[in-house]
Structure 1
């Protein structure tokens, strides 16, 4: 049976300010990328999300980011390598402590926003993040943009890597994501998105904004939990895949 991981960015609420609906999406996904406080997330909220992930049998990963609460981690930063390494170590360690209290284990790392996009192609910053992961726990899996140079670089450095595709994002013909600043970058039709992901799994790619079939080899699909209609979209993706004999299973079993 074919299988695929569904992951979502969670734990991003901050005090009374709410982002997404973690309780609703956790029964749908198989992996939770939990904020670590740098781009979003308060300690109490993060702990609540981790406890809910454990209850739902969902694997947990550290959603590390630039120190950018105001910009939600979506602003690029030219941070020195040693500082970036320390930042990532700090975030993983904080989430590991909260996860231990919640009775679950952090098993992977997925960078967020601008950091995710930057290290996909920026070798210096990528090596800084890789160094942080290896310093904390070399067995942690890195989730990276499918087709990016980061995938092979991290593997060369000894990390296990899971390539990721985005369910609700448009792609260019070269496999890069369409910038959120451009119209049509984010997809909103649940049925359209579900069919795209079915095609991705069965045919190995999706149609780009240029109208070309673009190959994407991925073992995990991100379903964003903070966009309008996100829960309906996630449920539609899961229902469509399972209806077509594709199991939803984390690349790292929850412990």
Structure 2
């Protein structure tokens, strides 16, 4: 992690900007981020929030780096929306993969690690590749929203990411699910068809199930475990 790296904006400045931009639109936050910090990228999982942000980003600064973590166990529908996004926007898309193949992971940790120790599996297939991606950056953009989970309720629109040692922008922090979908439909943004089949949050095939009516939107992630985050966001 970036313990020794000096932040491109001081914590005091970040706090000041967060207060100042609390009521800014996602586009205003993105424009500030992309025009102020050169070494910045958007971490994309091709969920609803992220495809909306891609549409906004390419309209502001089309050459912006957009990276995704290919765990090798994503849904086919996720790869399909990636391809549709690539065809429509031609974004500067960068793929990061785990250091271990699924076969190597099985040899080292046994079969179906996700079922025995999902935290260990997420560390190998998501957190380590993300750490590698972020080590090259001064700031990153995410699609997290306060409404998504209690763990995200206090997310700032701009904050210091203490875990990874850089600046983090969350342009959609204040948006509701309805605002996300209104934007997607109004702008004809390609989206993952699994969203139409009861999947509000989409991760890897083994650890994602549809959500029943009335359940928390992230109840379909790591069902049966006391886990709602993969470790990418504190």
Structure 1 or 2: more helix by fraction: 2
| Higher RCO by CA contacts (8 Å cutoff, separation 6 or greater) | 2
Structure 1 or 2: more strand by fraction: 1
Same fold, TM exceeding 0.5? no
TM-score by length of 1: 0.32
TM-score by length of 2: 0.34
